[in-house]
Amino acid sequence: MPGAEKLGPDSLDGLVLVSNPAVTPDGRYILYTAARVSLATDSYESSILAVKVDSGEQIVLQSGPRDSCPVPSPDGRRYVFARKVEQRDRRGNKLPGIELRLASLDAPGASQLIARVEGIVSLSWSPDSRRLAAALPMGRPDEDVKEIETLPVWFNGKGFVYKTRIEPFIIDVDSGIMERIELGLNWLQVSDVAWSPDGKKIAISVAADMLRPYLLDVYVYDVENGEAHVVAQGLRGYGELAWSPDSKLLAYLGHRGERGFSSHQKIMLLNPETGGLECLTCSLDRNAVNTVNSDVRFRSCLKKLQWTIRGIYFLVSDSGRVILYRVQPGMEPEPVLDPGEAVVDEFSASRDGSIIAYTLMTPVDPKELYLYRGMEARRLTRHTEAWKRRYKLAQPRRFSFRASDGATVEGWVLPPPEGVEQRGWVLYIHGGPKTMWGYGFMHEFHVLSNAGYTVVYVNPRGSDGYSEDFADIRCRYGERDYMDLMEAVDYVVKQLGLPKSRAAVMGGSYGGFMTNWVIGHTSFFRAAVTMRGISNWISMYGTTDIGWYFVEDQLCCTPWRRSDLCWEKSPLRYADRIETPTLIIHSNEDYRCWLDQALQLYTALKLRGVETKLAIFPGENHDLSRSGKPRHRVKRLQLILDWLNKHIPGARNED
Ligand SMILES: CSCC[C@H](NC(C)=O)C(=O)N[C@@H](C)C(=O)N[C@@H](CO)C(=O)O
């Protein structure tokens, strides 16, 4: 019977994650990845499928189980894709883990190996469909004793990276010959490559300053004479590039660092002849990327911006929704596809912009593939329908309130589904801080809801989805962000009637920092769960992949300059005030917020006799809750439920 099963932690099993909707430039096919979560194999079994646009016929192109990231060729006849492999050489050393393979669209299944690489940062076909520009990580430390002379030492999800250079290459797809593009840099991390439509140039955005890897330079490489020259320096942001159809201008996704790491990503127009920069989306005052949180995504190799003859397409995060926009030089940005209370999660457009493939999700619908053509949207896949029919999913309700400084703050409440008694509720704080809650699908929220916990999720100051000013809490962590959250608690108790004696607080990363901050400043909550969090900004500064620049930018301190401020903003400073039973969850390969952040808090709570438990997940990183091994994700959810069930009195208790 539909909705008969309780959606518990192991309901992850069998969920299909649809991603990477890639339209062939001629608009004939849409290629995408379907990854099935398998508890049996403890993996994501990913295959590459295609839909014939005119007939809707579904085709299995690569049956997996480790295939993903299809990138169609400009002539629409072939595509490259990534195959994940685990192999070692005769001495037992790990070999590069990704096969870059070439396949034909005319003969599904036929494929050949182009190269064995450590990973793929960016790919761009030559217009003649014979070569690829690629940004590839090179250099794997296989030494026993690690002799390190660079920064970062390690990077979340990649391990030790002190020997890794992300370099630009040209690959002949038929011969497999790889030719490095020399930029003459001692240290480099290429973030994007883009081949010009006239085939003559390759634009390359690259970080060249090891101590300031957030500064990007843009080079243009002349394919004919093999020379590269700098056209812009010291830019910030994601660094994605797209050429204009006439190969004269570049679109650049980034910013000028107006508000440090709190700046919105903008579509910048870069003239490679003059180096001139013009902001095309500043009038929007919204982030020109998708920052909505979701835990049902699979890896994708799509670009975040695409320039077709109809304009530059990009996604905008706005009040929990993600909308597809388009902008042309000299015109205001305009919404192309507004999904309402939903998320356009990824997109790709045909060369003429007449066909747009995208994935869409809602709070109660995991991602599926859609086609937008002639002002009409059509759903093309139903991979998650059978999974969804098994469970009862409650609908969230939006609320908003006027904060004490007059600003409007919005949030959502996800109650237990019909027939499930409310045990209590959790205030779930997102990370970033510059991400947003909204209309993305959160499997974890439905697990909590099905267990009887209403989930309250709010976008306090520091969140994305609103103005740049709303997002900018630099130097003021634990102030307006904390007040917005506490005023939201006040609102849901007084206005929505949630029981004040059965509340928990939880959050990850920055949300873990805020959870740690909350329990050091109030004993309102009966339980807390802090995940991949931050307890000490001074040690965060030197132990992680982003610490030395993220802390200085966001907290306005370093261990040597204003260290008092670093300590004042560290939840560990207030550990002697914590009374809330706290579960601490961390991964042992989290190099974004290192394990020391959890250990310091755990030790403090143990010494103070506060009930606490530390769960360390082996072989996992900062993204455990989003892409960790399925069995670990289930274990994590069970630990959370056990902790809440232990510390939140059942519904029978008086409030
Ligand atoms: C290099 S500055 C950006 C830091 C980055 N911010 C975002 C928006 O991702 C980041 O990793 N922040 C962490 C402290 C964090 O809170 N991460 C979030 C969002 O990825 C999480 O939930 O893990």
For the whole model, what pTM was predicted? Answer: 0.97
For residue range 238-279, list pLDDT tens digits in order. 999 999 999 999 999 999 999 999 999 999 999 999 999 999
Question: Which of 238, 435, 551 has most ligand 1 atoms within 8 Å of CB, for mutation?
Answer: 435
Q: Whose CA is nearest to atom 17 of ligand 1?
A: 432
Q: Which residue, 389, 400, 467, 460, is CA-closest to 430?
A: 460
Q: Are 435 and 463 in contact (CB under 8 A)?
A: yes
CA distances from 371 to 23, 28, 205, 337, 375 (A): 10, 12, 31, 11, 10
User: Hey, what are 558's tokens?
Assistant: 């370093």
Q: How many whole angstroms separate alpha carbon 564 and alpha carbon 320? A: 36
Q: Are 490 and 498 in contact (CB under 8 A)?
A: no
Q: Are 164 and 151 in contact (CB under 8 A)?
A: no
Give SS3 for 565.
helix
Give distance in angstroms: CA of 264 to centre of ligand 1.
14
Q: Whose CA is nearest to atom 3 of ligand 1?
A: 261
Q: How many whole angstroms separate alpha carbon 123 and alpha carbon 287? A: 24
- Kindly list the domain boundaries of the chain, sorted by start residue: 16-180
Ligand 1 atom nearest the C-alpha of 622 is 23
CA distances from 392 to 8, 294, 447, 457 (A): 11, 19, 10, 20
Q: How many whole angstroms separate alpha carbon 503 and alpha carbon 501? A: 6
Give 216-219's long-range contacts (Cβ < 8 A, gap of 24+).
Answer: 216/191, 216/254, 218/250, 218/252, 218/270, 218/272, 219/183
Give the Cβ contact number of residue 638 at 10 Å. 14
For residue range 67-98, list pLDDT tens digits in order. 999 999 999 999 999 999 988 888 877 788 99
For residue range 362-388, list pLDDT tens digits in order. 999 999 999 999 989 999 999 999 999
For residue range 22-70, list pLDDT tens digits in order. 999 999 999 999 999 999 999 999 999 999 999 999 999 999 999 999 9
**What value does the mean pLDDT take over residues 482-486?**
98
**Which element (helix H / strand E) includes 486?**
helix 480-494
Q: What is the pLDDT of residue 273?
A: 95
Where are the strands (E) in 382-477, listed by range? 397-402, 408-414, 424-429, 453-458
Ligand 1 environment, Cβ below 6 A: 261, 431-432, 434-435, 508-510, 532, 546, 550, 592, 622
Task: Show the CA angle centred on residue 53, arms to residues 49 and 56, nearest 5°.
Answer: 70
Question: Which of 212, 436, 554, 592 has most ligand 1 atoms within 8 Å of CB, for mutation?
Answer: 592
Q: Whose CA is nearest to atom 13 of ligand 1?
A: 432
Give SS3 for 8.
coil
User: Hey, what are 361's tokens?
Assistant: 């999700």
Is the model's pLDDT at 652 over the cut of 70?
no
CA distances from 348 to 72, 307, 358, 472 (A): 11, 10, 6, 31
Mean pLDDT of the chain: 96
Burial of residue 96 (CB within 10 Å: 0-12, 13-18, 19+) is middle
Give distance in angstroms: CA of 489 to centre of ligand 1.
24
Could you tell me which CATH class the domain 16-180 is placed in? Answer: mainly beta
**What value does the mean pLDDT take over residues 111-137?**
96
Q: How many whole angstroms separate alpha carbon 199 and alpha carbon 497? A: 63
Q: Are 67 and 36 in contact (CB under 8 A)?
A: no
ipTM for the predicted complex comes to 0.97
User: Hey, what are 75's tokens?
Assistant: 């002539």
